[in-house]
């Protein structure tokens, strides 16, 4: 590998670890030995004012040391490469703080929402694949099971294969039971997934179209009824609706249970 190509690769990797463009350039310049700020300025082309600022930033991150000789002269020395790991530790700690803040925020927001009327009726609409993914993500918050009226369309057609598998892995991880009613004998969800334990949480039964013709994907979870229009390839007409109402969800759950009792096991 040529020196220029190697330098470009190293600079890219340092930036991926969290260094800025100028920080990466100065850190690389110091790898062959300590240098004065003036030399760093000449080698990198970074202005002298910026050099001093970046040196201080790198020193704060623990990635360089300032050496002072007996005449008061200062040279800058790079820290050992192993100390780059401290960047990841800092990022992991910052991410953990954000996760804790998110958990507390969600708890407070859900508490505020719970103060609304007990029989409130709210309808939310979603559009495109991104909207349908949000609806599916909302299903994963359920405290119970997910009951589904399933069409011929598959989860992958709504959200893409990778996202569909991610959804199923969360179902498995959270151990969320799913019951599905279908018209066909093709077990789409179980045939298209590679999640080994998903079948332990997915139960399907079949109904003749003469009994009920399932033309729309509908799910019931907690106090929410979700209606999906995802069996059409056009992005513009992928539309979903969430109806938040305890009484309506209970009605739809009752309808589901009646059909479930009539349905045929595979």
Q: Which domains does the chain have, with CATH numbers?
A: 3-83 (1.10.10.10), 119-262 (3.30.870.10)
pLDDT band at 216 (very low <50, low <70, confident <90, very high): confident
pLDDT (average), residues 182-194: 68
What's the pTM value of the predicted model, to 2 decimals?
Answer: 0.56
The Cα–Cα gap between 54 and 24 comes to 10
**Secondary element (H or E) of residue 184:** none
CA distance 19 to 27: 9
pLDDT at 109: 74
Task: Give pLDDT, residue 114.
Answer: 59
Q: How far apart, in whole angstroms, are the C-alpha atoms of residue 204 and residue 265?
A: 7
- Asked whether the predicted pLDDT for residue 69 surpasses 80, the reply is no
Residue 233 reports pLDDT greater than 60: no
Number of Cβ atoms within 10 Å of the Cβ of 233: 9
pLDDT, greater one: 149 or 236: 149
Phi, psi (degrees; rounded to nearest 5) at 185? -100, 10
Mark 163-186 as b/e (b = at least 16 C-beta within 10 Å).
bbbbbbeebbeeebebbbbbbeee
Comparison of pLDDT for 131 and 118, the residue scoring more: 131
- Using CA atoms, how far residue 207 sits from 60, 149, 177, 221, 230, in Å, is 66, 10, 20, 21, 21
pLDDT grade for 185, boundaries at 50, 70 and 90: low
Count of CA atoms in the C-beta half-sphere (13 A) of 209:
8
Average pLDDT of span 64-69: 84
């Amino acid at each position: 590998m040529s020196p220029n190509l190697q330098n470009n690769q190293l600079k890219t990797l340092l930036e991926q670890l969290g260094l800025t463009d100028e920080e990466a350039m100065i850190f690389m310049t110091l790898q062959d030995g300590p240098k004065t700020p003036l030399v760093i300025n000449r080698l990198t082309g970074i202005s002298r004012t910026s050099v001093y600022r970046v040196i201080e930033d790198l020193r704060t991150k623990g990635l360089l040391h300032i050496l002072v000789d007996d005449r008061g002269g200062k040279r800058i020395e790079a820290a050992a490469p192993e100390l780059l790991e401290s960047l990841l530790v800092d990022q992991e700690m910052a991410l953990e703080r954000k996760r804790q803040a998110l958990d507390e925020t969600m708890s407070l927001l859900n508490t505020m929402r719970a103060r609304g009327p007990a029989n409130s009726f709210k309808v939310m609409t979603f559009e495109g694949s991104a909207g349908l993914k949000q609806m599916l993500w909302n299903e994963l918050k359920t405290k119970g099971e997910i009951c589904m009226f399933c069409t011929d369309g598959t989860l992958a057609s709504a959200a893409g294969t990778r996202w569909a598998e991610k959804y199923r892995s969360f179902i498995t991880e959270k151990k969320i039971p799913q019951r599905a009613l279908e018209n066909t004998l093709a077990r789409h969800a179980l045939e298209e997934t590679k999640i080994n334990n998903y079948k332990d949480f997915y139960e399907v039964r079949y109904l003749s179209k003469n009994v009920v013709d399932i033309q729309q994907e509908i799910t019931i979870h907690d106090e929410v009824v979700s209606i999906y229009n995802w069996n059409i390839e056009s992005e513009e007409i992928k539309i979903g609706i969430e109806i938040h109402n305890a009484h309506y969800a209970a009605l739809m759950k009752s309808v589901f249970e009646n059909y479930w009792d009539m349905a045929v096991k595979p």
